[in-house]
Amino acid sequence: MPRYLSLVRVQENTIDMADADPGFEARMGALFEEITKAGVMLDTAGLRPTAESSRLTWSDGKVSVTDGPFTETKEVVGGYALLQCKDRAEAMEWSRRFLAVHPPHWTVGLEVREVEEMRGA
């Protein structure tokens, strides 16, 4: 079965967990339990703030490093999920459900991409 990487995109510093409605954590927990029992969720995690990260760039035969925060970036990857689904439609449905549990006043986006499996591995 194909695997899909779902990248959670947020505008850093605009989402505060203290601002979530009282049922948010329970809804998210129920969804994670369901998706795990269905055998779809392979891995998931949130990511630390960009202030604690670094970007490495390969250019002209050299590696350069830029330490965060990255003020020029509006939207960042705030987390990920690795899903194993029968097809893209199933991955998209789980992704829609993930977004729907968030408070309506938050802006959260997902980028869903199929993992390209290595041939012969």
Query: What residues make up the domain containing 100?
Result: 3-114
pLDDT in tens, the chain (121 residues): 999 999 999 988 788 788 889 999 999 999 999 999 999 999 999 999 999 999 999 999 999 999 998 877 778 899 999 999 999 999 999 999 999 999 998 999 999 999 998 876 5
Count H helices, E strands: the chain?
2, 6
Other C-beta atoms lying within 10 Å of the C-beta of residue 110: 19
Compute φ and ψ for 93, nearest 5 degrees. Answer: -65, -45
**Cβ(114)–Cβ(35) below 8 Å:** no
Q: Please give the distance of CA 109 from its chain centroid, rounded to a whole number.
A: 9
Q: Is residue 24 part of a domain?
A: yes
Q: Is residue 80 part of a domain?
A: yes
Which residues, 6 or more positions from 85, have their beta carbon under 8 angstroms from its beta carbon? 1, 2, 3, 4, 40, 91, 94
Q: Is residue 67 part of a domain?
A: yes
**CB burial string 72-101: b at 16+ within 10 A, e below:** eeeebebebbebbbeeeebbeebbeebeeb
CA separation for the pair 51, 56 (Å, rounded) = 15
Tens of pLDDT, residue by residue over 26-60, are 999 999 999 999 999 999 999 999 999 999 999 99
Q: Is residue 119 part of a domain?
A: no
Q: Is residue 49 part of a domain?
A: yes
Q: Into how many domains does the chain fold?
A: 1
For residue 34, the surrounding DSSP H or E stretch is: helix 24-37
